[in-house]
Amino acid sequence: MNSPPPFPLTPLKGDRHTRRTQRTHELLLDTMYQLVLEKDYREITVQDLLDRSGVARSTFYAHFRDKEDLLVAGYEYIGLPRTRVCDISGHPRVVLDISAWLFAATERHAALTTSLFSGASREIVLAHLENILVIQVREHFRKQEIYTQGDLRSELAVRSFVGALLASWQWWIRHDYPCSAQEATEAFDSLLNNGTWPALVIMPEKPW
């Protein structure tokens, strides 16, 4: 039986070239998904992807630099995390629902995630995911005026939030998904993403 595609396929849009590009991306991502279920990500070669998918080498390199570039592109098919408005002490606060984005996507593709994180390739995949989360959270904090470029505390707020999310997420995976994605999201949000952290006002630095 064929494995389901790793990411929800979106309706093909745009001109013929755009549609062809999207079909190629989806075919290669689906192939990557199937191969990851069979062996460690580090053992997968570009030639494996070409042999299984039937895509020409020149076509692959017209779209991706290497297999890691393909892996990163896969996150684009999950979509971007949404925002929601919380009422904090009578004031609206826009919160990035990145925990729901991560836990829900993982739950939909649990077999893929478990396979990626059970082998030696775990650190490679984790590094890419961490970078994506840092970029998303930093940009959101910037829009909400709680991040200042070059400010140590601003960057530490981003890194602390992402670190806590990844630690919780990895625990959830290692323990074979002991609760639903929604329950995991609600537990995490009640601690770190309910609109009260980080503080809206960054405290002034100490004189010493």
- pTM of this prediction? 0.76
Architecture of domain 16-76 in this structure: Orthogonal Bundle (1.10)
pLDDT at position 27 is 94
Provide block-wise average pLDDT over 10 residues at a time, the chain (208 residues): 44 67 90 88 92 95 91 77 84 89 91 79 85 93 89 92 95 94 94 70 51
Residue entry with tokens 């069979």 = 38
What is the Cα–Cα distance from 77 to 114, expressed in whole angstroms?
A: 19
Listed by start position, the domains of the chain span: 16-76, 83-192
pLDDT at position 13 is 53
Residue 178 CB burial class (10 angstroms; 0-12, 13-18, ≥19): exposed
pLDDT at position 63 is 92
